[in-house]
Every structure is written in structure tokens, then in C-alpha cells.
Structure 1
Amino acid sequence: MDLTVVFLFLSLFVSSSPLGIIKLSSCNEAQSQTNNVKCIHTEREALLSFKKGLTDPSGRLSCWVGEDCCQWRGIECNNQSGHVTKLDLRCPFELESLTPYTNPYLSGKISSSLIHLKYLNYLDLSLNDFEDIQIPQFFGMLENLVYLNLSYSYFYGEIPPHLGNLSSLMHLDLHGNYGVYAENLDWLSNLSSLKYLDLGELGLKDVGADWLQAINMLPSLLELRLSYCDLESLPPSLPFVNFTSLLVLDLSENQFHSSIPQWLFNLENLTTLDLSGNFFLQGQFPSFFQNRCKLKTLDLSWNNFDGNIDGFLDDLSASLNNCLESLDLSYNQLVGKIPDSLGKLGSLRYLNLENNSFWGSIPFSIGNLSSLEELNLCGNEMNGTIPESLGQLSELVHLYLLDNSWVGFITEAQLMNLTRLEEFVLTTDKNQSLVFKVTYDWVPPFRLQGLDLENCLIGPKFPAWLQVQNKLTDVTLKNIGISDTIPEEWFSKISSQLTYLDLSNNQITGNLPHQLVFPNVDFIDLSYNLFKGPIPLWFTTARQIYLRRNLFSGHIPSNIGDLMPKLETLDLSENYLDGKIPFSIQKMKDLYVLNLGRNQLSGELSYNWNESKELVVVDIGHNNLSGKIPSSMGCLSYLSTLVLSNNNLHGEIPSSLQNCSFVSIDLGGNNLSGNLPLWIGPILQILDLAHNNLFGGIPDCLDNLTTLVYGNNNFFHFYNSSYIEKAIIMTKGRELEYSNTLQFVTSIDLSRNKLTGGIPNEIASLGRLGTLNLSMNHLTGNIPKNIGNMRWLETLDLSRNSFSGPIPESMSFLTFLAHLNLSFNNLTGRIPNGNQLQTLNDASIYKGNPLLCGSTLLTKCLGDETSNGPTFIGGSVEDRQDGDDTERLWFYISIGLGFIVGFWGICGTLLVKKSWRHWYFRFCDDIKDRITLTIALKVVHLKKKFGLEKN
């Protein structure tokens, strides 16, 4: 039985209105459309009691007055008996009597008085808000119910098993009640008349594998929907399959850990099968689709199927060539070329192969799919051509060829018969490897509503086929080689309906026409062109504006905040704008990205940032701003990125900034003074305070920077789609500019300040820090011994300070270290060996440390034998073979004592006793030769001992 026939039968059986969202008429209209039967008094009282328990803010039940309840809105009665048979209070999305801010949802309690409606066969309370109450158990007493719809009504708690008493029920819909759950589905087995069952988005995680046994007891079931139910068990087989009449099966978005089960083979009447979003379904596609000649819709997207699809498409084309209308295999791991057998699915209207790894060209047989309305090949590795046969798809409405590596040409042949085409999306990863080779004045047969062309070559002129597209609402022409001026007539035609405009990354020139009006535009990106003149003010409804890197000049309009009150992103960076920053910008209460960097703006920053509380990014770096950083910026609690670098700001860094949520702070290249802030937050990844006049010591609370300790990039730049921060970071020995990859950079740069004191040991806890630059300060003390714990460190610059002591041995553990500069300090001893330090053999790293020695330097350490002769002084004293510090110390002490004793003990006595003087001189004459020889030998010995002997 066809599904359409089934629903027609249901609607006639229960005398229902359409099951979709309806537009309710007024009370008077509802009364005029009912018959003249009178309702039963007890049932009228039951309805009034039910109404009394409800909250009705929009007055939907205000017409429940009078004696005859059969004329009330949402009520139907039997024509002969007058008994209430239908209660339909589904909330419509449209109510003529409602203002835009009226709450149309019924809520409150559901009175048990409804059990007096003994002949009720239709109950619909869907799309209301019952505020987390449980589905009433007494619903199970409404034994004549045929239709029950409680979907999207915010019920809560366990499904009452009493619903299993409704033996006449044919339609049960509980979809979208997120707080409703079941521990088993045994109660379902009694609903032998059930034809439609939807438990989507209910919590069924605890039902185990028995859920299928309960479903299998429903022989009349035609449609089963169990999407988003957290089901984990998909039994591979059943002893017998009882629900073989099933037409629609939706098990999407669950958590199955298996392949496609065998019992699906027995469902020969299926017209729709949706197994999408079960990421654990894996392996190659099965061949059970043979002989399924009734299947019209097959969705296996968002799974882990792999391999090629040659055999799979062969099976489909053999049995489903005349009936399959929709095929979705997107977001799997499929590979290989798309086979020619695709062209045998002659009834196909929808084909989605997005986000796999298909390669090659589109098969020529695509032209055989004469009924195709939508083709999606986005996000693959297609590196071939687009065949001319594509132009035979005269029914095609949506064509998505985004994010591949297309090559070759697009000519009139691929486009000439696409008379119904409304959306055309074509981008290639290879820069302009796909060329539009159509005659300049060619006029296509289609009139597009959406156009997205990126990285293709279409220019240098705006071709005529573009200029005749006067129905466009969404336009992206990005990096397509246009170096023309904008055709004003075409631009004027589409301006009134445009909602999205992206002309970025071209060489479009000239002034923008200022007389245009864009009343509906939401997104504008004209970045990376050659537009000049003043900032345009067309975009009064826009939420995102990007005019980055053009030739715009002049002042930012002072009333920009009044003209664009809805703006969320404003990017005017890298232009030639001058003057002051308008105060009216602060009237943009929804603004979260403000990028005015790299212009010629001057004046002081506004001192009132209190109203801009949604700001996440403020980038005004590389301008000519003066004055102080206003303390009111501390009111921006969501502020994540602050760039004020390379201006003329002075004064201290306000302590109020501790209220912000900084991920990146760049205040470098100013004249800021005062101590380093102690309040820097835990999620900071980039801190640049270089080229200022900061003084004092480095705080010892660096271990509070938990992102740099443990690492966490998951939340970095959640606004990344709307802001690409640029930062010039001194790393790897040179200044590098980061933009798209900045989210992976971790850096602290405090260079060129007046910092004093030592490096706190806590700095070694920053295991995820990539760049540390403390150069050109007045820092002293030793390099921390545990610096080797900074395992991700790539750049370390401690040059031009006054560090002393040895280089820690642990520095050799820095296996990612690519640049090291310790020059011009007072470091001593041997340079550590091993690991990454072995590759850093540039002697300039250690220049200006005369007491360092090692294999990199000319100054060798004692014990380091070379082919050029004896070793030189300068090595570490511990490594010397013939002495140590104690030996040298006692040697000099003995010389001093010897001098004192010899002079005053002997020479002093000789001055007193004459006879001793004569004896002494004779003694001297006697041993002078011996003393001369002894001294000569001692000198030679000392020279050898201390390495002073020359070659």
C-alpha cells in the first residue's frame, strides 16, 4: 500500500484537518464552519475543567464560551451523537490575532477531566509548552484514541506504559520531547493497530536490544521513526520479521556499533530508508539493495563506510533504476572514481556525495540523469574536468561543486540547457586552474538566485552572462581574476534583493557608487581589492562588513554607528583612513569584532566603552593613536583579543583589564610604562608587550596561565570565521606574520623594555609555550635549571641582558627548539651538548659571553682535545684534569704566606743581627744557581698546568 493512500485513509477515518502546521482562523470563523449538533453537557464541563488548568497567554481558547462546545475552536463532534471526537490544540506558527511578541503556547496542567471524553479518537497537543510535566497516565484510559500527537510539547519523565492500553491507536507521535525517556518498550507490543510511530529525540539509551523485539510485534506498522534516540544496540538478526509492511524506516542519528543488519533484507516494501548519522556503521556497502525495486529514498550519510562504490552502484542500477529518487552517501570515507554506472539511475532527482574522497572527473554518463534536480559533490578530491554532458541536465536546480581541485574549461556546452538552474556553486583548490571559456556576450538560459564562484578564472572583465543575472540574492565571486570596475547597472538591479555579497580577492578598481541602497543585505566582503574613495554607507541592515586591504581613504563617517545599528563585525583594516575613531561606533550594541588596524587613524581612544559589552575583538594596531588605554575597556568582559600595537600610547596598563577574557594581548611598540600586570588570565595564548618602557620584575604567577601550561585550543577564536587576526611575532630569529595559523601560536614577548630581576622558576611550567622573548632588558640571575620542562618551546631569546652562571643542562631537552639567542650576557662554563642543541651550531648565539666554552666556540673547555694543539683556558673548572678550584685557591694562599714569612721572618732578623747578614749572603751565593734552576722548572710546570705554553 502506498504511503499517500495510508495517510488519506487515516485522515478520512478520524475526520481530521491536515496534520501539518495550520493557520487557525478567528473564533467567529471557527463557529461558522461547524455543524449544528449540540455537545453533551458532561463533556462540555470536562473541556471547561481542562481549560481551567491551562495557561493561555494568547487567548487561543477565549472562544470556548457558550453552551455548544461543538462550535469551539479545535473541537469536533460526531454528527449524530454529539459526542466530542476530536481535540486539536496544536500550536500554529501563525495566528493573525497575535503580535510578534505574543507567546502562543499553551502550558500548565492537563486535567484528568479529559477521561470523560469517552468517544475521543483524535488528540493533538503538539507544539506547546507543558513545562516539563509528565505525560499523563490517564491518556491510557482514552480507549477510543486512534490519533495521539504530543510532539514538541516539552513533556518530561518516563513514557507511561499505560499508553499500551490504547489498542485502537494507529498514529503515535512523541517526537521532540527531549526530557522524555523509556527504560523498555514492552508496552508497544499491545498496539497491534499502530501504523505510524515516531519516538524521535526521546531518551531510549537504556532500552537495550529488546526495543526491536517490541517493534517486531506491530504487524500493521507502516512508518517507524526513531531518530536521535541514543540507541546503541542494533541487533544483527531476528528469528522472524513481523513488520514486513513497513514503508518508512528512520534510524538516523543514533550510536550503533555495527554494520547494516540482516533483517533489513526482509523489508521488501520499504520506500524510505534513513540510517544517516550512525558514525559506527562501517565497512563496505552491502548488496542487500538488490531486488528492492520500491525504494525511493536511501540515506546512508554521516557514517564510516569506506572503499569504492562500483559494486554498490551496480546493484542499485540493476534493481532501482526506475524508482530510486534520492541517494545520499555524503560524509563517509568513500574513495575512487565515480563509476559510469551512476548514469543508469534514471529516476534520480537528488544525489549527494559530499565530503568523501572521490577523485578524477565527473563521469560522462551524468548526462543520463535527466530527472536530476540537485547534485552535490562538494568537499571531495575531484581533480579532473567537468564534462559537457552536464549541460543535458535540464531539470537541475541546485549544483554544488565546492572545494575540489577542478581543472580544464567551462564552456557554453556545460551550461546551455540548464534552464531551471537557481543555485550554482563551483570552487577549486587550485588557483584559477578552472577557466570559464565562454564568449564575452553569451547570455545563458538560467536566472540564478545563488552564485558562488571561487578561485576560477573568469576575468578580467565582468562578463555579460554575469550581468544578466538580475534575480541574485547571494553572490560570491572570490578570486576570479576580475580587474574591472563594477557594472553600475547590474549592481543597481540586484541591490534591492541582495542579502550576501562577497567580491573579495580580486583587483576590482574605482569608486563605489554611493547612490545605491541595499535594504536587505546582511553580509558584505569587498576585501583585497583596489576600491578607493570614502567608506560607502549603503549597508544599513548589514551585520558583517569587510573592506580590508583596499585604497579607501578619508575619515570614518562620524554617524556610522547610527546608520548601521545592527552591525556585528566591522573590518576596515589595511586602508588609508585617517582622522579620529567616531564615538558613534559605541552605539553598535551587537558589535563583537572591531578591526581598524593598519590605517592612519589618530587622536585618543574613547573613554566610554561601557556600552560595547559584546565586543570580543578590538584591533586598532598600527595607527597613530595617542593618550592612555582607557580603564573603561575593563567593562568588555567578553574581550578576547586586544591589539593596540605600534601606536603612541603611554601610561600604565589599566588593572581593570583583568575583567576581560583575554586569549591574545598585543600592546607592543608603544610608550607604556609601569610594572608588568599580575592579573593576566589563564586562557592567554599570546602576550606581546615588547618595545615599551615597562619596568620591575617578571611576575612569579606565570603558572596561572593554564592554557600555556596544559594547552587548550578548542575555544580559540570562536569568531574565526569573521576575524582573521594578524600578528608579527619575533620567532625563529626573524619577524614572522601569522594570520590563519595564529590560533596555534603561543608566545610571550617582553623584549625591549626595562625589566629587572631574575626569571622566576614558575616560567618552566609553561610547557605549551612556543616563543619566549625577554631580550634587551636588564634581567639578572641564573637561567632556571628546569627550563627544559618547556618542551614545546621553539624560540628562546634571552639576549642583551645580564644573566650569569652556567647554561642549564636541561636546555638540551628542548627538542623543538629552532632558534636560540643567549648573546651578550655574563654566562659562564661549558655549553651543554646533546639533542636539539647539537643542531644550533651558530657561534653568534653565544656571542658576548667571554667565559663560555664549548665545541661551538673558539674557546674550548679543558679536556676538549683538538687537532690544532693543546687546549685553551676557558673551560669549566670541574672538567680540568690537573686541579680544581680548591687547589688553585691554596696555591695562591701559600704564595702569600710565603712572602710574609720570608720577608719578616728572615729579612727582619737580618736587619737586627750583623753576623746573620754575612752568613745569609754567603748562603745566597751558594744556592743561587739551585734556586735559579728550581724557579725555571717551576715556571715550565705552571705553564703546562694552566695551558699557557705556546706552540
Structure 2
Amino acid sequence: MDIYVYFNPISRPILDFLILLFLASSCLNNSSVVVESCMEEERRALLSFKQDLSDPSGKLSSWAGHECCQWTGISCNNRTGHVAMVDLRNTYPYTTGDYQWNTTEYLQSFLGGKLINPSLLGLKHLSYLDLSSNDFQGIHIPKFIGELTSLRYLNFSSTQSLNSVVGEIPSSLGNLSNLNYLDLSLYNYSLSSKNLNWLSHLSSLKYLNLRGVNLSSTGVSWLHEVNMLPSLLELHLSSCKIGGNQLPLSMPTINFTSLLVLDMSGNSINFSYPKWMFNLTSLTKVDLSGNSFSGPFLDEFVRLKSLEHLDLQSVGLKGQFPKFSGNLCRLKSLSLASNQIDGGIEEFLSGFSNCSFNRMESLDLDGCGLVGKLPSSLGMLRSLQHLQLSNNSFWGSIPEFIISNLSSSLKTLDLYDNIFNGSIPQSLGKLSQLLRLDLSYNSWEGNLTEAHFINLTKLESFAVSTTQHVPIIFNLIDYEWIPPFKLHRIVMHNCRVGPGFPIWLQSQTKLVLVSLENTGLSGAIPEEWLFKISSHILWLDLSSNQISGKLPFRFNSFQNLRSIILSHNQFDGTIPSSICSIQSLYELILNNNQLSGEFPKEWSLWSRIAIVDVSNNNMSGNIPSSMGIPSSLYMLKTDNNHFSGEIPSALQNCSFLERLYLGGNKFTGSIPSWIGSKVSTITVLQLQSNSLSGHIPHHLCSLPFLHILDLSHNRFSGTIPNCLNKLTSLIHSSYWHLIGFIDIEVTTVTVKGRVSEYLEKNVWFLTIIDFSHNDLEGEIPEEISSLVGLATLNLSINQLSGNIPSRIGNLRLLETFDLSQNQLSGQIPQSLASLTFLSHLNLSCNKLTGRIPSGNQLQTLDDSSIYEGNPSLCGFPLSKCPEDGDHMHEPHEDEADDEKLGLYTSAVLGFIIGFWSVCGTLILKKSWRYAYFQFFYHIKEKVALAIALKVARLEARQ
């Protein structure tokens, strides 16, 4: 799992400049006159403002006494003593860039409240107001903010998916004529604006960020209003739902020619580039990613002689790389990521051949569909710091010329998911400035040695894996080798790092993310190494190794750990209760080990746990619920253990529960009523191979997202509910509800008559109802024919009676259909022959009668065992039906020869006797001869008339 921090290399200096401008204008630095205390009126205004805020972390605890200029987040003008700055932005580090994530601190870091008190109007000299990245529980931006006419800086943005502010942006903001900086950026479209008429009044505005604000209703007026801002330096309108009809191709005049940064990424613009954009000759950065622009953008853009940064990620660019002119030498950053570009990159790189000195620092060609070897001409970009070529089809090796020319500059080399082959060059060890190296998901072969890392003293992130069956081997000459780097992130899959836990790995004590899957690690995990990384590690994946022994007991030292993945190893013993002290834990995956004992009762301490998987172990006892089950639970997998008791009622508090796997245990009792009544989010319900009893409850039909329902191998009785047609996810063939973030583990299902394993991320594409091996009776409800999205239906080994539903052919996606070993009667519906995907069918051991339907897919299912045990069935692939002829079986070869001889003899004798009996009489009696020929004359006339009528009808149809 990659977690990145993004810093804008262009806008940061501009932001610093704006803040410096504010500080200077507010006289917050040195002054000959210093006022030590704030105004009493303003102090009371701040205290009134505080009363309506929630402050779980006590951030505003210093707001007491009379010296309000010394309160947290408050700055005053040193000359006048008036409050000039209120800076209450939430500065908690949301990403791993600071390596300080703590769930408790994170949840308490927000200021909040349902009201921003208008007492702020008492701060008449307020120039700076920042309430960003807090949680104001979906309030509207107060209209009174427009009365703070001294404001130069206003920030209501949110860096997280919080309901900070919602609704329409108040037009009163247009009164802030002194405003230099306005940031209302969000991530969830909770803000909108029907028009931006108010914007044109902000003539001093230098920075505008409306990311995630819905501007779909503004038409083309948004651009005309922006065009009235002559001082604007940065414009950020990413993910604003701006459509193609909202971007004029031309404009009579351009006023905001000072613009340095233009960001319109993530919109829905799908036609040629507007010509007015090329008149913005001061631009240094352009980001139009996530659109579908077309046309000669690059040919035009090289005319912007000051261009330093260009980002075309996901713009839908097609065709070959355009040929650049010498102006390409001025580019600092170029991203064409997530486009489909035909051909190679050599023509593009030829644009640098005439550069005496190029400035290119970042080149991103991620996911461009590029094919071929890497050209050595990449080495011309001697200033290149970041090279991202992931998700393409580059093959061969890495040219030595590139490595030697970039050895003193390259910081990022990302070759993830290509088809590079051969050995990894040792010369990579020359890249002395390298911070991030990703060689994973290629076809590498051979060894990695100390020489590959000899000069990588700054390396922080390393990823390598091979798609070959033979793993990459860490062939270290010195077992005691200590690398020259301290990694923060290590990802190695299908490599040979073990046996044991090598010294070089134990020397990495600053790790935040560890993913060592199928690396040959064995023995016990070194406790000392775990303790050294425990304070900052977020992700620990040691799956598919031969690690043995007990699980570590010092889990209480892991305060920031979110994911523990230790599946497919040889751990034994019990799960220590100390693991429940990791309150930040989001994912616990311990399946396919040899764990025993009960599940820790203290798991209610997990406040954010979403995934718990202890399947395929030897655990027993009840699922503990006396202390409560975490309400954040999304998936619970306990299948194939020895758990017993009833399904715990405490699960009804899990309002996010979607996947519940309890199969292969010893659970008893009935299906609880809260499934479907209180928890309706379940998509997968697997309760197979237990000792559950009672009727299949109707409240299961209240699960609109359910697509796997497996109740097989239990003791259920009664009838099949006739409300199954309310399972709305099974009456459509499109699947849209899945969150889809689980891709590392598998789930076991019975499909096409055999047990199969599927990756969790692919489970949504399975649609299954399995009620087999129970004591169900009565008829199959006709409503089941409405489940047109169903792929597997197994009702075998029950006591079902009556007919097969006549409209079963409506299940057009059905692949597996098993009704064997019941008491079904009547004929097989002809509609069954219309199932074109059917590949596994079993109707054996029933009381079915009549002819087996023929046609389409059924003709390929020629196994007679499909229908055996139904004595009154006939037709392919069984014996012929009586109406098809008297002979119900094919005769033996000798019998056939005797029958043929008798037939020929009888025919000859019959011909002789018949011929002379008739012809002899006609010769002797004249009256018979006359009647005979008169009869054939009439027959001839009737046959001629019939033929004429038939021909006439055929001609009429044509």
C-alpha cells in the first residue's frame, strides 16, 4: 500500500510570498511601538467564538486571561494591538510523510461545532482567518464573513473527506475587496456555486482554490468572472464538474495574464484546447489531468516560452508524441500519465537534442501504453530527478548510459509493472541521490548483491518483485552485511530473502511499511527488531513464508500499526490479548496458520478495525461478544475453525458489516433476525457447514446488496422463501456497490460443483445462492426466476417437490444449476435450453418425466449422469423417447446382420408374390384392367392439383 505526500513545487513559494505580504502589511514584525495587551472587546469576541467550538484535544486551553495576543492561533498587530490573525487550521500530519500517525490524536485533533459565532465581527481589523481541515459538521459558510472587509487571507479548505462546510458559497464574499488569498477547496462536492458573479469584485485576489466545488451550474460565466482578476497568480479548479460546454474555445480579451499556475484537472472537458489559454504567457505550471482533451495541445504549448511545468495526466491524448521545438528545453516537469500514446518516446526525446542545457526535472509517463526498450537518449536529461515509467510495456534492461548520466541527479526511478527482463544491472548502485526505487512486477531474473546498493545511502523506499516462477535471490557475500541506507518502505514479493531473518533486514529500524510476501523467511520473528520499528510502523505484511512459533506478545508497543498480515505461515498457539491494545488497527489477517484457543475478548478496544480474518486455523470457543464487537467491522472471516455457540447478537451493532464468513464451524441455533432487519449492508453471507437449524427467514430478503448467500450443509427445514426476488443485487447483471479495497486474500466458494478460491477483490463478481444439503421441502418458488443476475443456484440434496419453475430460462447468466437428489416431478422446462452460459447442470435422482429439452448449450452437456435417477426421462443424452421409434436400443452387430438377411428375403418373396398376383389377374380379366388404370388416372389428377397449390402458396409467401 503506497501512501504519498504531495507538495506543490510552484505554489509553495507563492504561498510563502502571500503570507509574508500579509505579515508585512499587518505590521506583525518589528515596530517602534509595542502594545502588550489586546483590546478587551476583541478578547470577549474570541471567547464567545470559542464557546460554540468543540475542542477534544484542548487546543484552545490557552484561551484564558487577558493577554489574548498570546493565545494559541492568535496574532496581533504589534503597533495597534488589534487582533490581526486567527489561525486555527488543523495541522495534524495526515500522511506517513511525518511518520507520526496516531489514531487517538487524529480523532481529537479537529476543532468542530455546528456554528461559527458571529462574534468574529468584533475583530474589525482581522486580516487573516484560517479554519481549514477541521470538522464543522456540515455548516454553511456564514454570510457575515463578507463583513470582515479587512480580510486578506481566508481559508475554509479541507484536506480530508470531512463535512466541513456545505451548501452555496455566499455571494457576500464579493465584499472582501482586499482579499489576496481564498481557499475553499474540498474533496466531496459539498460546496457549490450557481454563479461566480461575486468573484469579479475581488480585484486584489492572487490565489483562488475551489477544488471540489460543484460549478456545473455556472455555464461559461465562471471564466468571464475569473477573467476579471488581473492580479491572479494561481487558479485551482480541479474536480469542479466543469463540462466541455463550459469552456469557450476563444475569448475576445484576456485580463488575467499574470497567471502562473492553472489547475483544471479531474473535470469533464472533452474537446480541443481553447486558444485563449496559449495567451497566458506567464504560466509556469499547467495541470489538465483527468479530462479528455484532444487536438494539437503540445504543438501549441511549446509557444509558451516561460513554461516550467506541464501535466497532461489522464487527458485522453491519443496518437504519437508530437514533435517539440527547442522551447522544450525550458520545461521542468512534464506528466502525460494515464494516456494512450502510440509508438515509442524517441521522437519526443529528440526535442531535447538541440538543448544546450535542459531544465527537465520530472518526467511522468505512467500508464501511457508505451512499448519497447528504453532509449539511451533519456540520459540527455541530465537534470532529471523523477522518472516514472510504470504501467507500460517496456522490456529489455535499463541502459547503462541512462544510469551513468543521471547518477548525480535521479531521486525517483519507478519501473513498476512493465515487462523488463534479464538481470537487474549492478550499476544502479551508482545512483547516489536515489530516494525511491521501484522495480516490482517485472520479469527479472538472477541475483541481487551488495553492489546493487553500494552508493544508495539516501534510499528510503525500495520495491522489487518478479513475475517469473524462479524468484530473485538475495545473494549476499557477507552474511553480516549492513546496508548503507535506512529504509522507510520495503516491498519484496517472490524473492529469496531468507532463510531466517537476515542481519541486513534487522538493521532496518526506521521502517514504516513492510511487505515481504513469499520471501522464504523462516523461524521466529526477532522480537528486538519488532520492538525497534514498533513506534512508527503502519503496515506489516509477512504473508506466505515459513515463519513459525508464537505470535509476538509485545503488541502493546505498536501504537500506530494499521495492518497486520501474517497469513499463510506456521504460527501456533493463541492470539495474544495485547494485540487488542493497538487502537489504530484497521486490518488483522492471520488466516492459514495453526492458531488455536479462543479469540481475545478485548477486541472491543479496536475503534477502527474493519477486517478480521482468522480463517483456516484451529481456533475454538464462542465468538466473544460480552464486551461488544467493534462497530467499525466491515469483514469478519472465521471459516474453517472450531467455533461454536450461536451467531453473536453483538454483530448487529456493526452498521458497516458487508462480508460475514462463518462457514466450516460448529455454530448452532437459527439465523438471527438482525441480519436484514438491523444490518442491511451485507453483500456476502456464508454460513455453510455448521449445525444451524430452523427455517430460512424472510428477513434475508431485506439485504439489497447480497450477492453470495451460502447456507449449505446445515439443518434448515421448511420452504424456500418466496421473497427472493427482493434481492435487488441479483435481479441486475451490473455490480456497483462494492467498496473494493481488499485484494490480498482469498475466499473459498463452491462453483461449478467444485471448491474454488477467489481473490477478495473479485468476490463481488460472484453471484451465488446455495441451499444444498439441508431438509428443505415444498416447491421451488417461481419468484426465483427473477434473479437474472444469478450465476450459481444449488438446491441439491433436499426434499423439494413439485415442478421446476417454467421461467427458469430467465436466469440468462446462470452457469451452475444443481437440483439433484430431491423429489421434483413433471417435465424439464423447455426454457432451460435458452441458457447459453450453462456449464454445470445436475438434475439427477428426482422424479422428472418426459423429453429432455434440446438445443443451444444443452447439446454440449452430453453426460448422461446429469439426468440419471429419473426413470421416466428420455431423449439426448439418454435413450430415445417412445414416439421417436419402437426400437429403444441399438441392436448387436450379429443381430443386425441376421435381421438384414431376413428383411431382404421377405422383400424379394413379397415382390414376386405380389407382382404376379396383381399383374396375372390384370392380364386375365379385362374389366379389372380398365378399373385399375381409371383409378391411377384420378390419383394423378389429385397429385398434380396438390403440387400446383403448394407452389402457389410458396410463391405468395415470397
Q: For residues 292 and 213 of structure 1, do their structure 2 counterparts lie closer, same or farther at Cα, with a shift above 3 Å needed?
A: farther
Alpha-carbon separation, structure 2, partners of 1:502 and 1:764: 44
In structure 1, give the amino acid aligned to 2:663: S
Structure showing greater Rg: 1
TM-fit CA distance, 1:223 = 3.2
Q: Which residue number in structure 1 is paired with residue 541 of structure 2?
A: 502
Q: Which residue number in structure 1 is paired with residue 663 of structure 2?
A: 645
The answer to whether the Cα contact below 8 Å between 2:549 and 2:570 also exists between their aligned partners in 1 is no
1:836 aligns with 2:836: no
Give SS of 1:343's match. helix
1:273 corresponds to which of 277, 286, 311: 286
Relative to the length of structure 2, the TM-score reads: 0.74
Q: Which residue number in structure 2 is paired with residue 783 of structure 1?
A: 804
2:592 corresponds to which of 574, 584, 591: 574
CA RMSD of aligned residues (A): 4.6
Q: Which residue number in structure 2 is paired with residue 283 of structure 1?
A: 317
Q: For residues 327 and 46 of structure 1, do their structure 2 counterparts lie closer, same or farther at Cα, with a shift above 3 Å needed?
A: farther
Alpha-carbon separation, structure 2, partners of 1:217 and 1:624: 72
Q: For residues 716 and 388 of structure 1, do their structure 2 counterparts lie closer, same or farther at Cα, with a shift above 3 Å needed?
A: same
Alpha-carbon separation, structure 2, partners of 1:67 and 1:429: 63
Alpha-carbon separation, structure 1, partners of 2:35 and 2:488: 54
In structure 1, give the amino acid aligned to 2:640: H
Alpha-carbon separation, structure 2, partners of 1:416 and 1:584: 47
Give SS of 2:428's match. helix
Give SS of 1:598's match. coil
In structure 2, give the amino acid aligned to 1:76: N
Alpha-carbon separation, structure 2, partners of 1:366 and 1:778: 72
Deviations 1:749-800 (A, max 9, x none): 2223222222111111121222222222222211111111111111122222
TM-fit CA distance, 1:315 = 2.7
Q: Which residue number in structure 1 is paired with residue 306 of structure 2?
A: none
2:728 corresponds to which of 706, 709, 716: 706
Deviations 1:43-89 (A, max 9, x none): 96985796587445566895795999999953326x5xx596x8221
Q: For residues 587 and 38 of structure 1, do their structure 2 counterparts lie closer, same or farther at Cα, with a shift above 3 Å needed?
A: closer
Q: Which residue number in structure 1 is paired with residue 140 of structure 2?
A: 132
Residues 358-757 of structure 1 mapped to structure 2, 5 A cutoff: 358-367=394-403, 368-369=405-406, 370-383=408-421, 386-441=424-479, 442-460=481-499, 462-483=501-522, 494=533, 498-508=537-547, 510-511=548-549, 519-520=557-558, 522-523=560-561, 543-556=562-575, 559=577, 567-581=585-599, 583-585=601-603, 588=606, 590-603=608-621, 608=626, 610-629=628-647, 636=654, 638-659=656-677, 660-661=679-680, 662-681=682-701, 682=703, 683-711=705-733, 713-716=735-738, 718=740, 720-721=742-743, 724-727=746-749, 729=750, 731-740=751-760, 741-757=762-778
Alpha-carbon separation, structure 2, partners of 1:70 and 1:485: 52
1:108 aligns with 2:108: no
TM-fit CA distance, 1:706 = 1.9
Q: Which residue number in structure 2 is paired with residue 246 of structure 1?
A: 259
1:341 corresponds to which of 377, 383, 405: 377
Residues 882-897 of structure 1 mapped to structure 2, 5 A cutoff: none
Q: For residues 9 and 806 of structure 1, do their structure 2 counterparts lie closer, same or farther at Cα, with a shift above 3 Å needed?
A: closer
TM-fit CA distance, 1:847 = 1.3
TM-fit CA distance, 1:801 = 2.0
The answer to whether the Cα contact below 8 Å between 1:184 and 1:207 also exists between their aligned partners in 2 is yes
Give SS of 1:816's match. coil
Residues 114-193 of structure 1 mapped to structure 2, 5 A cutoff: 122-127=127-132, 131-136=139-144, 139=147, 154=165, 157-158=168-169, 160=171, 163=174, 166=177, 171-176=181-186, 181-185=192-196
Alpha-carbon separation, structure 1, partners of 2:72 and 2:821: 92
Give SS of 2:844's match. coil
Q: For residues 194 and 821 of structure 1, do their structure 2 counterparts lie closer, same or farther at Cα, with a shift above 3 Å needed?
A: closer
TM-fit CA distance, 1:292 = 5.2
Alpha-carbon separation, structure 1, partners of 2:628 and 2:527: 41
Alpha-carbon separation, structure 1, partners of 2:585 and 2:286: 44
Q: For residues 795 and 854 of structure 1, do their structure 2 counterparts lie closer, same or farther at Cα, with a shift above 3 Å needed?
A: same
TM-fit CA distance, 1:343 = 1.8
The answer to whether the Cα contact below 8 Å between 2:809 and 2:835 also exists between their aligned partners in 1 is yes
The answer to whether the Cα contact below 8 Å between 2:602 and 2:627 also exists between their aligned partners in 1 is no
The answer to whether the Cα contact below 8 Å between 1:253 and 1:276 also exists between their aligned partners in 2 is yes
Q: For residues 49 and 454 of structure 1, do their structure 2 counterparts lie closer, same or farther at Cα, with a shift above 3 Å needed?
A: same
TM-fit CA distance, 1:346 = 1.6
1:771 corresponds to which of 765, 777, 792: 792
In structure 1, give the amino acid aligned to 2:569: N
Give SS of 2:360's match. coil
Alpha-carbon separation, structure 1, partners of 2:692 and 2:18: 77
Q: Which residue number in structure 1 is paired with residue 953 of structure 2?
A: none
Deviates more, 1:65-74 or 1:408-417: 65-74
TM-fit CA distance, 1:589 = 5.8
Q: For residues 114 and 287 of structure 1, do their structure 2 counterparts lie closer, same or farther at Cα, with a shift above 3 Å needed?
A: farther
Q: For residues 12 and 92 of structure 1, do their structure 2 counterparts lie closer, same or farther at Cα, with a shift above 3 Å needed?
A: closer
Deviates more, 1:434-443 or 1:850-859: 434-443
Identical pairs, percent: 41
The answer to whether the Cα contact below 8 Å between 2:835 and 2:857 also exists between their aligned partners in 1 is yes
The answer to whether the Cα contact below 8 Å between 1:649 and 1:670 also exists between their aligned partners in 2 is yes
The answer to whether the Cα contact below 8 Å between 1:440 and 1:464 also exists between their aligned partners in 2 is no
Alpha-carbon separation, structure 2, partners of 1:548 and 1:647: 19
In structure 2, give the amino acid aligned to 1:278: N
TM-fit CA distance, 1:707 = 1.9
Alpha-carbon separation, structure 2, partners of 1:845 and 1:69: 85
TM-fit CA distance, 1:842 = 1.1
Alpha-carbon separation, structure 2, partners of 1:780 and 1:4: 74
TM-fit CA distance, 1:36 = 3.0
TM-fit CA distance, 1:736 = 3.6
1:88 corresponds to which of 68, 85, 88: 85
Alpha-carbon separation, structure 1, partners of 2:87 and 2:486: 40
Alpha-carbon separation, structure 2, partners of 1:809 and 1:159: 65
Q: For residues 49 and 179 of structure 1, do their structure 2 counterparts lie closer, same or farther at Cα, with a shift above 3 Å needed?
A: farther
The answer to whether the Cα contact below 8 Å between 2:823 and 2:847 also exists between their aligned partners in 1 is yes
Q: For residues 88 and 329 of structure 1, do their structure 2 counterparts lie closer, same or farther at Cα, with a shift above 3 Å needed?
A: farther
Q: Which residue number in structure 2 is paired with residue 813 of structure 1?
A: 834
The answer to whether the Cα contact below 8 Å between 1:478 and 1:503 also exists between their aligned partners in 2 is yes
Give SS of 2:777's match. strand
Give SS of 1:783's match. coil
The answer to whether the Cα contact below 8 Å between 2:544 and 2:568 also exists between their aligned partners in 1 is no
Q: For residues 230 and 451 of structure 1, do their structure 2 counterparts lie closer, same or farther at Cα, with a shift above 3 Å needed?
A: same
Give SS of 2:698's match. coil
In structure 2, give the amino acid aligned to 1:684: L
Residues 198-347 of structure 1 mapped to structure 2, 5 A cutoff: 198-216=209-227, 218-232=229-243, 233-238=246-251, 243-278=256-291, 280=293, 281-284=315-318, 286=322, 290-291=326-327, 293-301=329-337, 308-315=344-351, 318-319=354-355, 321-347=357-383
Relative to the length of structure 1, the TM-score reads: 0.74
The answer to whether the Cα contact below 8 Å between 1:268 and 1:292 also exists between their aligned partners in 2 is no
